[in-house]
Amino acid sequence: MNPKIFPRNLSARAVANVAGNPVGTRLESGVGNCYPGLEFDHRNLDRRFFPGLIFNFVSQDDAATPQDEKRGARLMALELSDPDLDVDASKLSEDDRKTRRELSDSLGAAQTAIGALPADWYLSSVEQNGRRLSMRRQNTDAALGSPLDGMIVWRLIRSLRPGPVIVRLARREASASSAREIELKGWRRRFLDRFGVIPSVYRPGELTQSLCSPWQHDFRDCDCTYWASNHPDIVLGAAPVGGISLPSGAPADASRALTALDWLRADRSPEIAVPAATRREDNRPYQLDHYEINSRWQELSFALEGREIDRVYQPRPLESAAPFANAEELADRLVDLATLEHALTVEYLYALYSLRAPDEIDSTKWPMLPDHLVFVRHQLLQIAVSEMRHLRWANELLWRLSDLGLVKPREPSLGIATTIPRGGDHTRPTALRRLDDETLADFIAVEAPSNRIDGQYSRVVATLRQPGYEAALYTIAAQIVADGSEHYSRFREIGNVLSAYAAAQRPYLREISPADPAEPEVANALTLYHSVVDGLAGAYRNTGTTPTAAEAIVEARKNMLTINKLAEELARRGKGLPFFSLPEGDRDAR
């Protein structure tokens, strides 16, 4: 029931989470299935594998000869307005402009020959790195074989690497010998840019256009449990009619508000709503059956933000933010925000090392605690890693603004903020602390949606939405905001799990305090930490994209893994890694 929503194809540009879109709409949530498809159909990416051309991959179960000729990659349209053919795009080299211009001219000539409607034109072959792949079977007598099935053609296209490609198109007529062929030299499209953004050539809904229609009886389930990714398994219940509800729509009764219900339950009466069982097979006898779905599907509730609704939805008010006056003010703010991301990263890591490892727990006394610690430690590590990405992205925004000539060059921002937002205008000192109740409350507070750290980025996002900035810059900033919502949910889940041990004096915590930085093993870990920071500074100074920068980043990641191992070994002996023990003056200099 994570409410994070951030479509990566820029079809939705909301700063805050948009109620109604599931997390599965995010590209990185894709399972990778394509037939019939899960969150999206990967074949829809390859329909546009060659700039300017759009194909459909056609399969035909009937093996009769007339049907055979319908198989393969059928040309559906030529699109000369494809953004990848824009010769005026910024940052293009002269060679790239020439290549785009030549392909655009070739496509124009092909459109004249083919006509506005391609009719019976198919992909005949593709060639890359001197190897040509025919889209027809090879007969032993060298005669022209029958067309390959569309799924086989798709797998061949899927195997192409980004780079130069030659495609040949042929028209299938009654006489194979009369088929005319057109050759086009171009490249295999990249489906994501270096910011992780899908090209704007893909239109809203295009990636899911070939998926099944949900309003059938197989909404109950099907052989590949397809619909499990498109409807919730469990939900929180709505406030009963006439009952007292909170502004969020949740029932005022705390026990009812926190009771997880089976979304497919056959008895929809709120009076007898009971918690969903933990196992699927235990819930199954009480769910709607396949036939019932045909007549009762309209009784299934919409679920927004993890809760069923039975009235007009009232979204939470969105935080309004005024854009910065100019790009220089924006860059100054990003410098500060990067130091905040760094501070949170080390706070979260120190809190992680304050948790016992599962093998340190007496499982006879605490049988569930080892599993709970596996969950909590994993969640906390994922949050810390996400903050590391935010540190990178804040610096990436800085160097991109500089590359575009919008701001003066700045040094990479890798310092550590001395204070952390706490609520309103209040702050707290940055500190390395165990994950006790107060620390966890502070972590939840700083990640609370539209209150703390994502609110810190609201003016950044508002500024980058304005004309004059690359869309990719907005995407990076909005991703940071979206991730903050996930951090908030994860910290609350951590709190729910650990709350079961409050009365037992929290047996999951280590007795740990910051170690003496002069100790050899501590100094060794700190030296590696300093080398990571220095390596990233050098990489970001080179805009993080050159071979030298890439090598520095790879080395930094290797050192991070070593630091993690050393810090864990120290923590087992009650010694916390004192991340703030930097050389004199270094903290401010960075």
Query: For residue range 356-415, what is the model confidence (pLDDT) as tens digits?
Result: 999 999 989 999 999 999 999 999 999 999 999 999 999 999 999 998 899 999 999 999
Distance of CA 284 to the CA centre of its chain: 32
What distance in Å separates the CA atoms of residue 371 and residue 36, rounded to the nearest whole number? 35
Q: Give the residue among 34, 52, 51 at the shortest CA–CA distance from 43.
A: 34
With a CB cutoff of 8 Å and minimum separation 6, the contacts of 36 are 211, 212, 224, 226
Are 230 and 22 contacting, i.e. CB atoms less than 8 angstroms apart?
yes
User: What is the average pLDDT score of the chain?
Assistant: 80
Q: Which pLDDT belongs to residue 306?
A: 75
Q: Please say if the pLDDT value at position 589 is more than 80.
A: no
Higher pLDDT, 311 or 389: 389
Q: Give the residue among 48, 6, 45 at the shortest CA–CA distance from 28.
A: 6
Q: Which pLDDT belongs to residue 138?
A: 76
Q: Which pLDDT belongs to residue 584?
A: 38
Highest mean pLDDT among 175-184, 291-300, 457-466, 570-579: 570-579
With a CB cutoff of 8 Å and minimum separation 6, the contacts of 301 are 235, 238, 263, 268, 308, 309, 310
Q: Please say if the pLDDT value at position 52 is more than 50.
A: yes
CB neighbour class for 32 (10 Å; exposed up to 12, middle 13-18, buried from 19): exposed
Q: Which pLDDT belongs to residue 72?
A: 92
The model's pLDDT over 403-462, given as tens digits with 9 standing for 90+, comes to: 889 999 999 999 999 999 876 678 899 999 999 999 999 998 888 765 445 567 888 988
Q: Please say if the pLDDT value at position 214 is more than 70.
A: no
Higher pLDDT, 156 or 216: 156
Q: Which pLDDT belongs to residue 294?
A: 72
Q: Please say if the pLDDT value at position 24 is more than 80.
A: no
Tokens representing 24 are 């599965």
Among the ranges given (61-70, 286-295, 382-391), the one the predictor scored with the smallest mean pLDDT? 61-70
What residue segments make up the domains of the chain, in order of their start? 49-188, 217-309, 327-512
Q: Which pLDDT belongs to residue 583?
A: 38
Mean pLDDT of the region 94-106:
89
What distance in Å separates the CA atoms of residue 586 and residue 579, rounded to the nearest whole number? 13
Helix or strand holding residue 234 (H, E): strand 234-236
Helix or strand holding residue 514 (H, E): strand 513-514
What distance in Å separates the CA atoms of residue 496 and residue 499, rounded to the nearest whole number? 5
Mean pLDDT of the region 180-187:
91
Q: What is the percent of the chain with per-residue pLDDT over 70, rounded to a whole number?
A: 76
Mean pLDDT of the region 16-33:
49
**Confidence bin at 246 (pLDDT 50/70/90):** low
- Scan for tokens 């998926």, then name that residue: 211
Whether a cis peptide bond, with omega within 30° of 0, leads into 370 is: no
Pick among 3.30.750.24, 3.90.550.10, 3.30.450.260, 1.20.1260.10: CATH of 327-512 = 1.20.1260.10
The model's pLDDT over 118-131, given as tens digits with 9 standing for 90+, comes to: 778 999 999 999 99
Longest dimension (CA), the chain: 85
Mean pLDDT of the region 145-163:
91
**Confidence bin at 204 (pLDDT 50/70/90):** confident
Higher pLDDT, 199 or 568: 568
Answer positive or negative: Cα dihedral of 16, 21, 26, 29. positive
> What angle do helix axes 437-447 and 327-353 make, rounded to 10 degrees?
150
**Confidence bin at 322 (pLDDT 50/70/90):** confident
CB neighbour class for 546 (10 Å; exposed up to 12, middle 13-18, buried from 19): exposed
With a CB cutoff of 8 Å and minimum separation 6, the contacts of 309 are 238, 249, 301, 302, 303
**Confidence bin at 21 (pLDDT 50/70/90):** very low
User: Per-residue b/e over 449-469, b at no fewer than 16 CB within 10 Å?
Assistant: bbbbbbbbbbbbbbbbbeeeb
Q: Which pLDDT belongs to residue 541?
A: 86
User: Per-residue b/e over 393-402, b at no fewer than 16 CB within 10 Å?
Assistant: bbbbbbbbbb
Give the three-state DSSP class for 122: strand
What distance in Å separates the CA atoms of residue 473 and residue 461, rounded to the nearest whole number? 9
Among the ranges given (39-48, 71-80, 539-548), the one the predictor scored with the smallest mean pLDDT? 539-548
Mean pLDDT of the region 26-46:
62
> What angle do helix axes 547-572 and 327-353 make, rounded to 10 degrees?
30
Q: Which pLDDT belongs to residue 157?
A: 95
